[in-house]
Chain A
Amino acid sequence: MTSKFVLKLYVTGQTPRTERAIQNLRRICEQNLGSQYQLFVIDVLEQPHLAEQERILATPTLIKELPPPVRRIIGDLSDTLKVLQGLDLPVHPSGTGGTQE
Chain B
Amino acid sequence: MTQNPRQPAIEKLPTGISGFDLIANGGIPAGRTTLVSGTAGSAKTVFAAQFLAEGIRKYGEHGVFVTFEEPPSDIRRNMESLGWDIPTWESEERWAFVDASPQPGEEVLFAGNYDLGALLARIENAVRRIGAKRLSMDSLGAIFTQFADSAVVRRELFRVVSALKRMGVTAIMTGERTQEYGDIARYGVEEFVADNVIILRNVLEDEKRRRTIEILKFRGTSHQKGEFPFTIMSGEGMVVIPLSAIELKQRSSDIRVTSGNPELDRMCGGGFFRDSILLVSGATGTGKTLMTTEFMAGGVNRGERCLLFAFEESREQLFRNATGWGVDFDQMERDGLLRVVCEYPETAGLEDHLIAMKKMIQDFRPNRVAVDSLSALERVSTIRGFREFVISLTSFIKHQEIAGLFTATTPSLMGGESVTETHISTLTDSIILLRYVEMFGEMRRGLTVLKMRGSMHDKDIREFTIDNRGMHIGRPFRQVTGILSGNPIHIAPGEIDRLNQLFNDDNEQQS
Q: B-contacting residues of A (Cβ < 8 Å)?
A: 10-13, 17, 20-21, 24, 44-45, 48-49, 51-52, 55-61, 69-80, 82-83, 85-86
Contacts and interface: CB of A to CB of B under 8 A. Distances in A.
Contacts, number: 107
B112 A76 contact: yes
The interface centre, meaning the residue of A13, A48, A60 with most chain B CB atoms within 10 A of its CB, is A48
Interface string B112-141: 111111111110111000000000000000
Interface string B181-220: 0000000000000000000000000000000000000000
Contact of A71 (B107, B124, B143): B107
B128 to A, nearest CB: 9
B146 interface: yes
Given A51-B121, A52-B98, A12 B108 contact: no
Contacts of B100: 55, 57
B118 A73 contact: no
The interface centre, meaning the residue of B106, B112, B126 with most chain A CB atoms within 10 A of its CB, is B112
A78 B147 contact: no
A21 B119 contact: no
B9 interface: no
20 contacts: A12-B121, A44-B122, A48-B122, A55-B99, A55-B103, A56-B118, A57-B146, A58-B119, A59-B114, A61-B114, A61-B118, A71-B107, A71-B108, A74-B109, A74-B111, A75-B112, A75-B114, A79-B111, A79-B112, A85-B109
Nearest to A56: B118
A60 B114 contact: yes
B69 to A, nearest CB: 13
Given A52-B125, A57-B146, A12 B111 contact: no
B113 A17 contact: yes
A61 B106 CA distance: 14
B110 interface: yes
B110 A82 contact: yes
B121 A45 contact: yes
Nearest to A55: B99
Nearest to B143: A57
Contact of A57 (B106, B109, B119, B126): B119
A53 B501 CA distance: 99
Interface in B71-100: 98-100
B99 A59 contact: no
Contacts of B119: 56-58
Contact of B125 (A49, A58, A85, A86): A49
Given A55-B99, A57-B100, A57-B146, A75 B118 contact: no
A83 B109 CA distance: 8
A57 B116 contact: yes
A86 B109 contact: yes
Nearest to A45: B121
Contact of A78 (B107, B113, B116): B113
B146 A82 contact: no
B124 A72 contact: no
Contacts of B122: 44, 48, 51-52, 56
A52 B96 CA distance: 11
Nearest to A58: B114
The interface centre, meaning the residue of A61, A74, A86 with most chain B CB atoms within 10 A of its CB, is A74
A48 B125 CA distance: 6
Nearest to A83: B111
Nearest to A69: B107
Contacts of B113: 17, 75-76, 78
Given A57-B146, A73-B111, A79-B112, A12 B118 contact: yes
A72 B111 CA distance: 10
Contact of B118 (A21, A51, A85): A51
Contacts of A70: 106
A21 B112 contact: yes
Nearest to B123: A48
Contacts of B118: 10, 12, 44, 51, 56-59, 61
A46 to B, nearest CB: 9
Contacts of B147: 57-58
Given A45-B121, A49-B125, A55-B99, A17 B115 contact: yes
A77 B112 contact: yes
A73 B125 contact: no
Contacts of B126: 52
Contacts of B114: 17, 58-61, 74-76
A59 B115 contact: yes
